Amino acid sequence: MSKDFYDKVAKKLGGYGYGISPQYEKEFPAEDPEKIFKEKIIELSSKDKTALDIGCADGKFTLSIAPSFQKIYGIDTSKVNLGIAESHSDDGRSKNVEYSLQDASNTSFNDSFFDLAYCRRGPSYYEEYCRILKPEGYYLEIGIGEKDCTELKKIFGRGQNYGKWDRSTLDENLEELQKLGFKVIFADNFHYFEYYPSYDEFDLFLQGVPIFEDFDSEKDKKLLQKYVEKFTTDKGIQLSRHRLVMVMQKVS
Ligand SMILES: C[S@@+](CC[C@H](N)C(=O)[O-])C[C@H]1O[C@@H](n2cnc3c(N)ncnc32)[C@H](O)[C@@H]1O
């Protein structure tokens, strides 16, 4: 992932692309992973706890969580996104939020500083997260599963984690976290579909997310048309998504 991908997207679209897209129709054969992830954070929150949002981008999700904690710190390496997040700081809800430009692999926080840390499709530097969490503290993540957008990536012949369809990201993450001394409280995979109403809206969505970091509306037109022809349903253009949700507790 190039370091300025998220700066570029935020400059172009005024924030983190996915977040500012309209909410397209979704179909959940099981449950909505975003809903589960948020519910789990809220369940573990309290007004005397301090939390960390890792890879907070433009702070939209951070703000939605802030009322449940005493204080939330949001960190990101994208200056443009953090600038947008800061611009919401007049909002009454954001008084207990502090943003800083920091690399999640090596933060400035003291050991055992946070009661809870969460990461919503951000980077996974588990050793550092373990260091800055209190004993008994919680780490929550909603991440991208290995089967995310497989059909689309196959047609493009490239994309995020291309070709790693058969290696369970959830299992790999759990193994790494358990080695560091975390206990599994909850862990599951979620598969669902999104439906885009038109070619143009699907194209705009792809411009704002890192599925293809080098996505180019002109150069990729033929490939996108091929996908759209094959995956247009009566609900819209279908995209298969895969997410994993983990709730871990630091026990040693
Ligand atoms: C997919 S976006 C998710 C943004 C946000 N969490 C959300 O749910 O809307 C990933 C974010 O992680 C940030 N990021 C990537 N690597 C990072 C790192 N090493 N340290 C801190 N932030 C990072 C990116 O700049 C980007 O804003």
The total domain count for the chain is 1
State in Å: Cα 119 to ligand 1 middle: 8
Question: 3-state DSSP call for residue 192?
Answer: strand
Specify the CATH number for the domain of residue 13. 3.40.50.150
- Supply the pLDDT for residue 10: 80
- Supply the pLDDT for residue 169: 97
State in Å: Cα 58 to ligand 1 middle: 9
Q: Can you give the pTM of this predicted structure?
A: 0.93
Low-confidence ranges of the chain (pLDDT < 70): 1-3, 17-22, 89-94
State in Å: Cα 153 to ligand 1 middle: 22
- Supply the pLDDT for residue 6: 81
Q: Which among 121, 206, 207, 212 is the best mutation to test ligand 1's pocket, defined by most ligand atoms within 8 Å of the CB?
A: 121
Give 53: exposed, middle or buried? Use CB within 10 Å, 0-12, 13-18, 19+: buried
Tokens of 138: 């919680």
Note down the domain range covering 200. Answer: 5-250
Nearest-angstrom CA–CA distance, 55 and 36:
19
Q: Which among 3, 54, 77, 79 is the best mutation to test ligand 1's pocket, defined by most ligand atoms within 8 Å of the CB?
A: 77
pLDDT digits (tens, 9 = 90+) for 203-243: 999 998 899 999 999 999 999 999 999 999 999 999 999 99
Q: What is the mean pLDDT of the chain?
A: 93
Determine which residue's CA is closest to atom 11 belonging to ligand 1. 55
